[in-house]
Amino acid sequence: MENNTIKTSNDKKTAMIRLKGLEQIREFAAAAVEHDYVIILQSGNYSVNGKSVMGILSLDLSAPVVLAVDRPYADEFFEEVSKFIVDGE
């Protein structure tokens, strides 16, 4: 599932995601909390734990945010949350 919003560096893989409303935030956080690895959401210079509903709510969700996951685990997690990944926004 490689598109123009997914980027890979030496240690992380990132994608742009959009979360609309509390139900999608809860669904994303529930998927994230099932994993032992670090899942980060970034908006501007602000980063939060992707497993924290309160942290996610503190982000500016009016635009897509960056999802960052350690490379060894990224493909698996990106597949799980693929419905939130946006293409080219």
Question: pLDDT tens-digit profile of 21-45?
Answer: 999 999 999 999 999 999 999 999 9
Which CATH number is 18's domain given? 3.30.1340.10
> pTM of the prediction?
0.87
- Rounded (10°) angle between helices 21-33 and 71-80: 140
What span, in angstroms and rounded, lies between the C-alpha atoms of 29 and 13? 18
| Amino acid letter, residue 76 | E
Q: What is the pLDDT of residue 71?
A: 87
1 part of a folded domain: no
Number of domains in the chain: 1
Q: How far, in Å, are 1, 35, 64 from residue 44 at the CA level?
A: 25, 25, 11
Question: pLDDT tens-digit profile of 48-86?
Answer: 999 999 999 999 999 999 999 998 889 999 999 999 999
59 part of a folded domain: yes
